[in-house]
């Protein structure tokens, strides 16, 4: 799954037993700026959402993605681990049409972070073109 697909996967969340539904008031959870590569804009929105509900796993996962896109892997890991440790669990619809719970998705995000999948690809010389 590409990083963009992973980011836009998190727009639809359904609370599971005992989970709050506060993030459902903003169903996009900064998906548009994340998908467009505007990590700083997404961070601003998600930091406000996280301040309002610091235990919301859907917000925390998207916050982690935004931090990862911005190159702050330590903050990304902290956000993913907070989502994993959250007492709340939500079911999240993914871009490929599947649904998964927030803890499973947080574990997947941590593994992606460890493999460097959120980093921008390094361009090789043979991938570049020159114009006269």
CB contact burial 106-118 (16+ within 10 A = b; e otherwise) = bebbbebbeeeeb
In this structure, how many other beta carbons lie within 10 angstroms of the beta carbon of residue 70? 16
Judge whether residue 21 has pLDDT over 50. no
In this structure, how many other beta carbons lie within 10 angstroms of the beta carbon of residue 44? 14
Unique residue bearing structure tokens 């005992």:
18
Q: How far is CA 42 from CA 39, 49, 123, in A?
A: 5, 11, 25
Q: Which residue has the higher pLDDT, 1 or 97?
A: 97
Cβ burial of 93 (10 Å; 0-12, 13-18, 19+) is middle
The model's pTM: 0.74
Q: Cα–chain-centroid distance for residue 39?
A: 10
Mean pLDDT of 13-25: 40
Domains of the chain, CATH where assigned = 3-117 (1.25.40.10)
Q: Give the whole-angstrom CA distance, residue 131 versus residue 26.
A: 44
Residue 82: the pLDDT is: 97
- Interval 29-86: pLDDT, tens: 787 888 788 889 999 999 999 999 999 999 999 999 999 999 999 999 999 999 999 9
Judge whether residue 6 has pLDDT over 60. no
- Interval 77-120: pLDDT, tens: 999 999 999 999 988 876 667 888 999 999 999 999 999 988 87
Residue 9: the pLDDT is: 46
Residue 119: the pLDDT is: 81
Residue 10: the pLDDT is: 46
């Amino acid at each position: 799954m590409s990083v963009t697909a992973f980011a836009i996967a998190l727009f639809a969340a359904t609370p599971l037993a005992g989970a709050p539904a506060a993030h459902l008031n903003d169903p996009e959870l900064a998906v548009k700026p994340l998908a467009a590569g505007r990590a700083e804009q997404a961070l601003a929105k998600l930091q406000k959402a996280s301040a309002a509900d610091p235990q919301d796993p859907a917000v925390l996962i998207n916050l982690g993605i935004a931090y990862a896109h911005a190159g702050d892997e330590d903050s990304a890991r902290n956000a993913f681990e907070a989502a994993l440790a959250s007492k709340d669990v939500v079911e999240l619809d993914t871009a490929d049409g599947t649904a998964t719970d927030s803890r499973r998705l947080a574990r997947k995000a941590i593994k992606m972070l460890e493999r460097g999948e959120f980093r921008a690809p390094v361009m090789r010389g043979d991938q570049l073109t020159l114009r006269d």
